[in-house]
Every structure is written in C-alpha cells, then in structure tokens.
Amino acid sequence: MHTVTKAEAIERIAKAVEIAPVDLLVDVYREFHPLKPRLKISEVKPEILARELVGCIRTDTEMDQMVDLWHVMFPLDRKVRWDEDDQVLRYMDRETWLEQYS
C-alpha cells in the first residue's frame, strides 16, 4: 500500500486538476457543488474552472472529499482511504492491486 500525507494528496490532486480535460473538471466541480446544476461542457472555460477548483482543493478540502476526488482523478487506484490514526491517505496502485489479486 502506498501512503501520502494530506498535504501531498492535496498537491497531487491539484496538479492533476491543473492539466485535466474539461469533462474531468466538470466531474470535480460536481464533487464540490453536488446540488448545483451540472455544468455544460461546451460552456466551460477550462482554464478558469481549473483555477477555481485548484483554489478550492488547496483551501477547502476535507479528507472525505479528498478520498472522493482521488477516485475521480486517479481511477485506477484501489482501496483508497484516509487513515485517521496515521494521518495519511492510503491507496493501492493498479499494478500492486493486480499482483495481489492475480
């Protein structure tokens, strides 16, 4: 299992969002604003939305949201969870998961 601190997890997700395609940005937006109407991809300005989301990620993210965002940004990782005792995000990358369950 791999581990990253909260700060490392936030930075990895923020960097991934900075380069994400617009459809993925819309999914991340929904994680932060589940009750707002879905954004239309054709109306989104990716650079502006990415900047807004990165700001949210770096300042307003709780660990339950971080786990949800990790699933969105890194869908091949498995068993993602926040370890409250050790204060780290734990996950298994695809290769490790395949080795363990093959």
Q: What is the pLDDT of residues 49-84, one digit of tens each?
A: 999 999 999 997 888 889 999 999 998 888 899 999
76 and 93 Cβ atoms separated by less than 8 Å: yes
Angle, helix 63-73 to helix 22-32, in steps of 10 degrees: 160
How many Cβ atoms sit within 10 Å of the Cβ of residue 23? 10
Amino acid at 9: A
Domains in the chain: boundaries: 2-100
Per-residue confidence (pLDDT) for residue 86, from 0 to 100: 93
Give the Cα separation of 84 and 8 in Å (integer).
16
Per-residue confidence (pLDDT) for residue 101, from 0 to 100: 66
Give the Cα separation of 35 and 21 in Å (integer).
22
Q: What is the pTM of this model?
A: 0.84
